[in-house]
Amino acid sequence: MSAPVIEITAEQVNAILKGISIPPQPQIMVDLQMEQFDPNCSIDHIAKLISQDVGLSGCILKTVNSPFFGLSNKITSIKQAVNLLGIKTVINLVNAQSIKGALSDEQIVALGKFWDSAIDIAQVSTHIAKQIGFDAPDEAYSLGLFHNCGIPLLMMRFANYAEVMERSYTSSDKSVTDVENEFLATNHSVVGYYVAKSWKLPIHLCEAIHQHHQVNKILSEEKADNRKKTLLAILKMAETICKNYKTLGNQDTDYEWQRISDNILVYVGLSQYDFETLCQHIYDMGLGGQ
């Protein structure tokens, strides 16, 4: 039996959206606006569009996981969340985000790489999860989409953040977040953790966002959540397959993968040959950073 759709008023939408907000992609907003005026408006198509945007996905999950709904389990699937909210509430949320997320042309250009990398890594994470038999590919998608959600906020806060981010990928011995801490006294993983908490994401996803540049440390901790370890392993494989070090860091060498690859492949039970075969399969599907 499907869950009943609960409509939310404009006042409740504004209350839910109060606080941290990541601006949505302009083209996604255009596509969503066109969809809502289509007489054959499809909630499945709306869910698909929303799942391609970090800010909108976070907004939808924050809403459906808010105390207003009183759900016993946290929802991480965008499609499930959109179906539960219903078209009217989703459109209210999208319209509210379009007002809050007005961007200048300069900001749109600056955030372009972030948006592109987020959807690529999310898609590849889902595929890897299925290939290694992980039972929650939706969670892998969510982590892939949200893991760098602190980046646009820091980019809007610090004029030099793009330069700091590129520099953070040049170090062969320091983590990306260690370099950010040196220059900014904060980093995108910490900011992303608080964004994820504000969106009411499950705690293990919030922690994975916080720790996604500390993978060797987490994998070595016996008491660490195995589900979180697997999600982090999937994420880091997806990042290197999508060449995140080149997209965001503007580098030709993936220093982070060099430091963590052995531990990750051992943890998920893949040989180097298995991983290379997986990479080629993903590239053959037209995914990843070929």
The pLDDT tens digits of the residues spanning 131-186 come to 999 999 989 988 998 899 888 888 878 888 889 999 999 988 899 999 999 998 88
Domain ranges of the chain: 10-100, 105-284
Q: One-letter amino acid identity for 156? A: M
Structure tokens at 93: 């949320």
Fold held by 105-284:
Hypothetical protein af1432 (1.10.3210)
Look-up of token digits 């965001």: 248
Do residues 251 and 170 make contact, with C-beta atoms less than 8 angstroms apart?
yes
The pLDDT tens digits of the residues spanning 208-244 come to 999 999 999 999 998 888 999 999 999 999 999 999 9
Task: Work out the percent of the chain whose per-residue pLDDT is above 90.
Answer: 38
- Report the mean per-residue pLDDT for the chain: 84
Work out the number of other CB atoms within 10 angstroms of the CB of residue 290. Answer: 12
For residue 241, give every residue at least 6 positions away whose Cβ sits within 8 Å of its Cβ, in sequence order, or none: 124, 128, 279, 282, 283, 287, 288, 289
Do residues 264 and 219 make contact, with C-beta atoms less than 8 angstroms apart?
yes
Query: Number of helices and strands (H, E) in the chain?
Result: 18, 0
Q: Measured in whole angstroms, how far is the alpha carbon of residue 289 from the centre of its chain?
A: 17
